[in-house]
């Protein structure tokens, strides 16, 4: 029975992650359950609401998202290279046909409720990314690491949103912008 519940939960979270990313957070419980191949009753035995499913599906994405973007925190890459690698990865990801932007930013923008459980998860991920950028900026000797980290987050989120909406291609755009910001901040 426990294996069946785990597999039901996994199917539900897999479907939720895919649907919320592709279609947005407004998808209905019925569509979610149909895609997952689970009954609404089963969903509500595992989660109290669709909001909780959304938050859990975002939480489940964090390890892969952070590993792909940030990599190992003990990585020996110099700070400037580390930041350029992060933005290079964003540029590369944005060329994929199924790229819809940052799933965490999308949730924050769509929900518009800072107290929503999924907003809390998404905000935490964004804060950790900004903290990583600030740490690298400080290691690289930036005059104002906090300001540079905030600027880099604006570039990251703006580029992610524009590329996800297919308004912009990022081919070298973010890395050039980030290089100019790091140079202006005195970062080595």
Output phi, psi for 178, to 5 deg: -65, -40
Q: pLDDT tens digits for 66-125?
A: 988 877 656 678 999 999 999 999 999 999 999 999 999 999 999 999 999 999 999 999
The CATH number given to 58-184 is 1.10.357.10
Cα distances (Å, whole numbers) of residue 172 to 19, 78, 148, 168: 30, 20, 19, 12
pLDDT for 1-38, tens place per residue?
455 655 899 999 999 999 999 999 999 999 999 999 99
Show the tokens assigned to 81: 């290279």
List, by residue range, all CATH 1.10.10 domains of the chain. Answer: 1-47
**Is the pTM of the predicted complex or chain greater than 0.85?**
yes
Q: Which two tokens stand for residue 155?
A: 């570039």
Q: Are 57 and 16 within 8 A, CB to CB?
A: yes
The residues of the chain that CATH labels 1.10.357.10 are: 58-184
Taking residue 18's Cβ as centre, other Cβ atoms within 10 Å add up to: 14
- For domain 1-47, the question of CATH label 1.20.1070 is answered with no
């Amino acid at each position: 029975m426990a294996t069946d519940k785990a597999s039901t939960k996994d199917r539900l979270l897999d479907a939720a992650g895919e649907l919320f990313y592709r279609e947005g957070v407004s998808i209905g419980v019925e569509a979610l359950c149909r895609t997952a191949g689970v009954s609404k009753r089963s969903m509500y035995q595992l989660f109290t609401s669709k909001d909780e499913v959304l938050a859990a599906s975002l939480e489940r994405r964090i390890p892969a998202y952070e590993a792909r973007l940030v990599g190992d925190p003990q990585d020996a890459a110099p700070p400037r290279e580390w930041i350029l690698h992060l933005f290079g990865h964003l540029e590369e990801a944005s060329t994929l046909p199924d790229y819809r932007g940052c799933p965490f930013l999308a949730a924050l923008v769509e929900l518009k409720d800072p107290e929503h459980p999924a907003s809390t998860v998404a905000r935490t991920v964004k804060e950790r990314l900004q903290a990583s950028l600030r740490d690298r900026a400080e290691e690289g000797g930036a005059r104002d690491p906090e300001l540079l980290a905030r600027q880099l987050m604006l570039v990251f989120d703006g580029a992610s949103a524009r590329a996800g909406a297919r308004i912009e291609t990022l081919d070298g755009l973010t890395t050039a912008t980030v290089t100019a910001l790091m140079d202006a901040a005195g970062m080595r």
